[in-house]
A and B are shown apart, each in its own frame.
Chain A
Amino acid sequence: MSVIDIDAVQKTAEEEIAGADSSASLEDLQNKYLGRKGILSGLTGVIPTLPVEERAAFGKKVNALKNILLAAFEQKKAAGAGPGARISVGQSGMDISLPGISQPAGSVHLITQVAEEITGLFAKMGFSVEEGPEIESEFNNFSGLNIPLEHPSRDTFDTFYLKAPGGGTLESGDGKLLLRSHTSPMQIRVMRAKKPPLAVVVPGRVYRPDAVDASHSFMFNQLEGFLVDKNVSFSHLKGVLEAFARGIFGEDIRLRFRPHFFPFTEPSVEMDVSCIICKSKGCPLCGRKGWLEILGAGMIHPNVFRNVGYDPGKYSGFAFGMGVDRIALLKYGIDDIRLLFQNDIRFLRQF
């Protein structure tokens, strides 16, 4: 066998590739050179016939040529086969107006997104995230939080109790078991387990026996937060909650703090933001008040500190709780809470 001129093969191949004027002819060329019975395959077949000392060098050259040609084919395909560098789209080349190729993304539920946005804001202020069980004891849900069992304030915390197998209420060491009606029992759990300083937010599901309609659900999502340390003041409560509200609703929002009543805080607060729809002019969303109630808060009641074994003379703190669903509805202009739990995929994909 005479010496084979690999350089010549390369030269011819490159000329032919450049001259290809359709994807079909390019395909043919690729088969001619790189196919199973193609020219390069033939060259490889020659190797055993060469003198031993030449085999390695020859093999390398063939391999190098293979890579060069592969690259040339790819480049030509990308540019579009045909006379000159490019041909017009729509002839036989690629149509960039065809749909792009990707795995279409799914979605994370709006409630998760909003809860994450809120926890993210508090995390930047130094709060950590804790989660707790939805089945709670009467102590953690009520008594520990200074809510007397027979007080009318319990009316607003109407609660699902759990049934014991033989009838009556299912009980644990801490009293009757129930589905938590707010995320506040985590104040008791965390404070019983840890010592100050503490700054914690708790997102989670809560339950109340409310008939389902456009604005009520028997299952909804809350986010609780609390900060306990020495010398924590009402000013800190305002500072943290203002930063949160501006983070969620924007810098130009106006805020007001109104006195309110919660058994587990004293002084207690409700925070309103200027209506995001009417900018406080008055509209149906805000009931023509111009303000939207966003959360309840207050300085943690000394009785709550006593219940968890903290010295109220030494520590102070504030706590707050808000409806994640409510904030999601307000922020995205959704008029029916049921949409959050219907899981219509067309709804889910919007967020």
Chain B
Amino acid sequence: MKFSYNWLKDFVDIKADAEALAQKLTMAGHEVGSVEPLDGDFILEAEITSNRADCFCMSGMAREAAAVLGGKFKAPAGFFKDMPKISKVSAGFSVSLDSAVDCPLYTATLIKGVKVGPSPEWLRRRLESIGCRSINNLVDITNYALFEWGAPLHAFDLDKLSGGRVNVRRARQGETLVTIDGKKNILTPEILVIADAGRPVAAAGIMGGAESEVSGSTVNVLLEGAIFDPVLVRKGRQLMAAQTEASYRFERGVDAERVRASVERALMLILSICGGSAEVRVQKGAKIPRRKQVRFSLSRAETLLNIKLPRKLASKILSGLGFTVGKSASDPDILTVEVPLYRKDVQQQADLEEEIARIYGYDRIPSVQPPVVSGLSGLTAWQCVLEIKNLLSGQGFNETVTYSLVDRRSLEFPAEKPGEAIEILNPLSREQEVLRTSVMPGLLRCLAYNLNQKQEELRLFEIADIYYRTASAARNEERVLALAVCGTRRYFNGETFREDSLGPLHIKGVLEMLFAWAGLRDCSFRQHSVGMDISVYAGKERLGEIIIPNKKQAAAADIKNRIVVLAEIKLEPVLRARLSLQKKFRKLPLYPAIIRDISLSLREEIPLREIFTVAVQSGGVLLKEVKLTDIYKGEQISPGHKGLTVSCVYRSEEKTLTEEEIAPVHAGIVDALSVRPGVSLR
């Protein structure tokens, strides 16, 4: 909101210049973003926090200025002392409220015989200085009172109201109201209106109606000062898509004290500028609440704020802000603090502690390191995830962060889902209408983007949550690791450049490394048939899958003529394994190993796993390891076959093995392999 430096000076003697004042207000919680000179004045643009409804006006901010500058807040000369007399209270005009909850206070003051015309120069300039357009003297005065005292007022042309009464009620379904901005609104019962005998004449707290608007021909006026339910005003202005200075303040809360001040101020100015006489005052509503009393413990505030707070200092700060401070008869530590109605934000000790602290100055409170309170924990899931990210980065993978909200189309891939997708009730756009059930589509999109940027050798990963609904749970949230590769790895081997296409084995490799790091045992990669997705298991638990999207799926992501490979696994089992991993020392081998190779030719479709299984089953206790040491195709191998060399590592924990001890074992393996269909020795 904009504040005029000169206007503030009506209420408090300010010796500080505008810049210094801005600085002080900022450090008291009203951040001043700019100070601009304007015709002998300065305009301060300040951000008012939503709890300080009382500061959305000059008098409120002036009170703050008085507190931070140590000055005294005073009402303008003659104000509240020399108020006009109202001749008749409630006669010839009636006000009725359907609900004192919707409208806790309504005052109508009837002013007869006004002369509506242009505003005097000083009034027009003041309003314009804070960005309010001048309309006519009467409307300007209601605005002036609003900006000065914070309660929105409305002036009706009394002669345009029919039936000598106003009724504050909910709109009837389908009633219409043309507001002063010329817009025709179709109303609903969620909107509170001021109605005359026949029809709505204003949307309460939001905007007046065009028909009853004050104009140059207006002679008699109804000046409205009221409190409307903040929630109703908020809903109403959302429905009507009309945010106004009035609705803004009603939403944040207006109180009886500010209504009275605004009304009296406006009345005083109307009578002196527009002439006429105030004849009738009608007031209806709920009982005006009493000021709240809060017990304030000095010692508790001293502990919380870590400052010395003598009673005198606390009293000075609080009374400077408009609180009435008394002593407790029984306890010298307690102040009884009476809270003005305009400070609805102050409810308890903590609120007063903030008042003390911000006026005392946050910068004057010493800075102290607290004693360490936390127990030191071992490895945490957070650290584990970081280690995984570092491991993958070391393997050439780049971490991505993609959006958890996706469009519905993204759910088509992959086909298999952990459950039903959860939709957003109020999405901003179709791109963000549903929570993802897989991270893979996000990575696929990243691949497409980077391929489009002519980037090669892409290796991406992301650790993030997926979300889904099942029959038994309305929400599931599960952390996964997703991986993606695409392109060619071109590398220098010291003599020449070689190229590998990135494929499923590049993903299998990092997953194996990850599982080994986590101590996750018995991991396997299974493909049920050629061309199918590859399932990743830890023991019997399925962790996830490696997928090569088909042409159609790739094309849907704008990837053409490229092989991409994606994978996604549950992260929880990996973290669980890592967090419970107990590494133990194993004695280094005392005796040397003997290595014997077997060269085989086998039909291409026979997986290596089959050879290993046979070898391990036949090998007995001396066989410690079987590994692939060569794989080849070519002249010496018949078509449809592949040549393999596997190395068998034999070792005993008790002695150096001899050739004689190994020979029968190794022969057993060779025999077992050679009788397998499709396998022959070379």
Q: Residues of A at under 8 Å CB distance from B?
A: 98-99, 101, 103-109, 111-112, 116, 119, 125-129, 131, 133-135, 150-153, 155-156, 160-163, 165, 168-172, 177, 179, 196-200, 203, 205, 207, 209-211, 218-219, 227, 229, 231-236, 238-240, 242-243, 256-261, 266-270, 287-289, 299, 301-302, 316, 340-346, 348-349
Contacts and interface: CB of A to CB of B under 8 A. Distances in A.
Interface stretch (B83-91, B193-201, B348-356): B348-356
B377 interface: yes
B580 interface: no
A348 B398 contact: yes
Contacts of B386: 108, 112, 116
A256 B363 contact: yes
Given A108-B386, A210-B428, A218-B428, 20 more contacts: A108-B393, A108-B399, A109-B400, A126-B374, A152-B50, A165-B420, A168-B425, A172-B474, A203-B382, A218-B405, A227-B370, A227-B373, A256-B363, A266-B353, A268-B354, A270-B31, A340-B401, A343-B402, A343-B460, A345-B453
Interface in B1-52: 26-29, 31, 33-34, 49-52
Contact of A131 (B27, B234, B381, B458): B381
B303 interface: yes
Interface in B332-388: 348-351, 353-354, 357-358, 362-363, 365-370, 372-375, 377, 380-383, 386
B395 interface: yes
A289 B33 contact: yes
B453 A267 contact: no
B389 interface: yes
A105 B43 CA distance: 56
B143 to A, nearest CB: 22
Given A177-B475, A266-B350, A209 B396 contact: no
Given A99-B492, A126-B372, A346-B455, A341 B401 contact: yes
A243 B369 contact: yes
B567 to A, nearest CB: 15
A348 B458 CA distance: 12
Nearest to B390: A108
B382 A119 contact: yes
A243 B303 CA distance: 22
Contacts of A150: 230-231, 234
Nearest to B445: A343
What are the nearest 10 A-B pairs in CB distance? A259-B29, A267-B354, A261-B49, A126-B372, A197-B373, A259-B358, A236-B370, A235-B306, A235-B368, A238-B367
A145 to B, nearest CB: 14
Contact of A160 (B230, B349, B425): B425
B28 to A, nearest CB: 6
Given A163-B425, A259-B358, A152 B475 contact: no
B372 A345 contact: no
B399 A106 contact: yes
Contacts of A112: 386, 389, 399, 401
Contact of B354 (A197, A266, A288): A266
A98 B492 contact: yes
A162 B380 contact: no
Given A235-B366, A346-B453, A258 B26 contact: yes
Interface in B389-418: 389-390, 392-405
Given A165-B420, A258-B26, A105 B396 contact: yes
B563 interface: no
Nearest to A133: B477
A223 to B, nearest CB: 12
A109 B399 contact: yes
B365 A238 contact: yes
A128 B379 CA distance: 11
A127 B373 CA distance: 8
Contact of A234 (B306, B375, B396): B306
B370 A240 contact: yes
Contacts of A161: 424-426
Nearest to A267: B354
Contact of A106 (B395, B492, B494): B395
25 contacts: A98-B492, A101-B491, A108-B399, A111-B401, A112-B389, A112-B401, A131-B381, A131-B382, A152-B230, A163-B422, A197-B374, A210-B428, A219-B405, A234-B304, A238-B362, A238-B365, A240-B370, A256-B27, A259-B358, A261-B51, A266-B353, A267-B305, A287-B33, A289-B33, A345-B455
A284 B475 CA distance: 44
A56 to B, nearest CB: 13
B450 interface: yes
B80 interface: no
| Interface core residue of A112, A218, A257, A266 (most chain B CB under 10 Å) | A266
B211 interface: no
Given A107-B393, A172-B474, A259-B354, A239 B425 contact: no
Given A261-B52, A348-B400, A106 B394 contact: yes
B368 A343 contact: no
Contacts of A133: 465, 477
A66 to B, nearest CB: 16
Contacts of B372: 125-126, 199
| Interface core residue of B252, B399, B403, B404 (most chain A CB under 10 Å) | B399
B469 interface: yes
A112 to B, nearest CB: 6
Nearest to B365: A234
A218 B367 contact: no
